[in-house]
Amino acid sequence: MRVLILNPGSSSLKSSVVETAALRPGLPVAPLAQVSLDWGVDATAATAPADDIRRLLARYEEAGIETASLGVVGYRVVHGGTRFREPARITPDVLGQLDALRDLAPLHNGVAVVTIRAGLAAAPQLPHVAVFDTAFHATLPEEAFRYPVPEKWYRDWGIRRYGFHGMSVAWSSERAAALLDGEFEAGGTRLPNLVVAHLGSGCSVTAVEAGRSVATSMGLTPLEGLMMGTRSGSIDPGIIFALLREGRLTVDELADQLDHASGLVGVSARTSDVRELLAQESKGDEAATLALAMFVRRAAECVAAAATSLPRLDAIVFTGGIGENAASIRSRIVARLASMGIAPIDARPTKEDGALSVPGSRPAVLRIEAREDLIVAREAARTVETVRPS
């Protein structure tokens, strides 16, 4: 089955077409074609997603992939709440429920809903399936997903940790099993225990025990945890109370600044692009140097914390745009983990999946390309096959 994958992220719309007959756990498959659109630092500012989808389909037609040859359209959706623990075929009711979740992932779910509506309009003859990042974290134990707040908050208001980047982590887990010298088998009975650091526009760290999420840094929303491109990550809640009490910011202004004007761009007062910050750091820019130092420190702290949820640590995985491509950032993070017995790695760039650490060393340090598209393709096709009449 050919699957068109639409992945609306916090800064871009990525798309590809994948043939599912070739899919195997942990083995990357090249897409038949792929098209991406840059939405800038803030995807919520994208003004014409319907036009974007039509342009994407036209470009696939030019590449020889006709819309009629597709079997399903699969969408990466960040937040599924407690309602969506499995992929869901899009219906008006499902779309309404997704729209109701937009406040829990303001940089993502609203954009996803708009993208889905545009996809439905562009290809109404195809089945459309939502695949959820939060679903991978359904295995979190209660001690990991509960917050230390009044029980009523959880029972009546649903205040709990959900976790995100689930498809990226799922792929990293499968791929790591295939990469680790045959010691582990993807789909087998013995899977590696990992800490997966997804570092990109959004950043998270997840502890994976034998293929199951047992701890993760993002929480009720994708704002918690690591310092990110434009998001603050975790800060003292008292800061929020003080700013509100003193009337310095309204609730909406505060939400906007923590989501859109904090993190790397907030500290550097320049950009969230790590490539630019590294260039400025080399020229002695103090703000860029501080922003990167804070980013590295907080990422290392979260990796170390996640490792405490595992009975052993077999490997640390770097993935996502920064994790895959910013070799010096990877090296700096690993250097801060020396007290955990993690050996240093070279700050050498690579475009290939594999070990960055000395062969045979444990814990290993791996670089893995994020392939959420393969997880979306597999789950969307499986959902369509499941509901297909016999």
CA–CA dist 167, 9 (Å, integer): 13
What residue ranges in the chain does DSSP mark as E strands?
2-8, 12-19, 33-38, 72-77, 88-89, 128-132, 194-199, 203-209, 212-216, 315-319, 354-355, 364-367
DSSP class of residue 321? H
**Residue 2: what residue type?**
R
Closest by CA position to 264, among listed 254, 251, 273, 256 = 273
Q: Which two tokens stand for residue 307?
A: 């490792």
Among the listed residues 133, 259, 314, 373, the single catalytic one is 133
Side by side, which strands form the sheet with 12-19? 33-38, 12-19, 2-8, 72-77, 128-132, 88-89
Cα→Cα distances 137→10, 110, 133, 217, 222, Å: 20, 21, 8, 11, 13
* Span between the terminal Cα atoms of the chain, in Å: 17
Q: What DSSP character marks residue 4? A: E
Q: Which residues pair with 212 in a beta bridge?
A: 209
Which DSSP string corresponds to 237-266?
HHHHHHHHHTTSS-HHHHHHHHHHS-HHHH
How distant, in Å, are the alpha carbons of 49, 90, 120, 374 from that of 117?
9, 10, 5, 22
Which residues on neighbouring strands pair with residue 2, listed in sequence order?
19
Burial of 50 (0-12, 13-18, 19+ CB in 10 A): middle
Whether 285 is catalytic is no
Instruction: Please answer whether residues 371 and 28 qualify as being in contact, where contact means their C-beta atoms are separated by less than 8 angstroms.
Output: yes
Joined tokens for residue 231 = 């998001």
Q: Which residues pair with 209 in a beta bridge?
A: 212
Catalytic residue numbers, as ranges: 133
